[in-house]
């Protein structure tokens, strides 16, 4: 396939979520033992709801799937209601037939965080690498918890969160002072190692970050901009998130041609 970076603009959040779920489902159906990289936050919730619906209708089987999550707050217990461990089980894993032993989420309570991060990278390698990595994007253009200034070759590690990220995440905790200041996150280099990347963005608040990631220079100040360097990327946006793109008409045209090509090729 010669379409390197596909920017898909959907009408709204629901349509965006359905499209992303279809891409993930296609990956699982073509490779039942697929390795999925998963994300948390409000943006992927619609995708997870669609995947659950597909599973409940009987046409999507997760029994051989393996998963690796992008990140987790440091020193937040897995049973804390705002941990990403709790988020994933509540919003996806408890509602599909994935095997618990096939689920990997960074351990924010690890006593030796350096050794844990090395072992997380090793587990990804042992699984054969991530087949498709789901991503959101922060308002400052970060992916995972790879804040502005992160090394573009970074691997899984402990990362200090910016004040902006802490403020953005305070809505989940009730007050800003309760938000952890550190997180364990896959690095930019780890993310680039996935065979496919699938980034989602919804709402006008993400429009500037989306523009900088897709149409700006590749920069450590906008870590999502590294998607431009990957050979197989889907960026799925609703119209508001795409509102600052200067070439949106071209992206829409390219996607129509891509769909036509795939239909004729039977892929």
Q: Which residues are catalytic?
A: 71, 140, 142, 147
Cα–Cα–Cα angle for 40, 42, 46, rounded to 5 degrees: 95
Distance CA 136, CA 256 (A): 24
Of 224, 231, 167, 177, give the one whose Cα is nearest residue 201: 224
| CB contact at 8 A, 105 and 120 | no
| CB contact at 8 A, 165 and 149 | no
Residues 16-42 as b or e (16 or more Cβ within 10 Å = b): bbbbbbebbbebbeeeeebbbbbbbbe
């Amino acid at each position: 396939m010669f379409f390197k970076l596909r920017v898909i603009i959907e009408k709204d959040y629901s349509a965006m979520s359905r499209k992303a779920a279809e891409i993930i489902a296609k990956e699982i159906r073509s490779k039942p033992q697929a390795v999925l990289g998963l994300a948390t936050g409000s943006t992927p919730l619609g995708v997870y709801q669609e995947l659950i619906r597909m599973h409940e209708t009987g046409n999507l089987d997760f029994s051989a799937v393996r998963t690796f999550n992008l990140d987790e707050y440091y020193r937040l217990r897995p049973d804390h209601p705002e941990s990403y461990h709790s988020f994933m089980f509540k919003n996806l894993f408890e509602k599909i037939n994935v095997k618990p032993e096939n689920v990997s989420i960074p351990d924010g309570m690890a006593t030796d965080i350096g050794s844990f991060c090395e072992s997380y990278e090793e587990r990804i390698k042992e699984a054969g690498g991530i087949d498709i990595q789901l991503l959101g994007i922060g308002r400052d253009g970060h992916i995972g918890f790879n804040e502005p200034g992160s090394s573009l070759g970074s691997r899984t590690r402990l990362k200090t969160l910016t004040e902006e990220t802490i403020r953005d995440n305070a809505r989940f905790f009730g007050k800003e002072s309760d938000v952890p200041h550190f997180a364990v996150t896959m690095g930019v280099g780890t993310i680039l190692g996935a065979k496919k990347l699938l980034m989602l963005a919804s709402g006008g608040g993400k429009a500037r970050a989306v523009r900088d990631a897709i149409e700006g220079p590749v920069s450590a100040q906008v870590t999502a901009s590294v998607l431009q360097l990957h050979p197989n990327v889907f960026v799925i946006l609703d119209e508001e998130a795409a509102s600052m793109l200067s070439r949106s008409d071209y992206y829409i045209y390219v996607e129509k041609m891509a769909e036509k090509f795939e239909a004729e090729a039977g892929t």
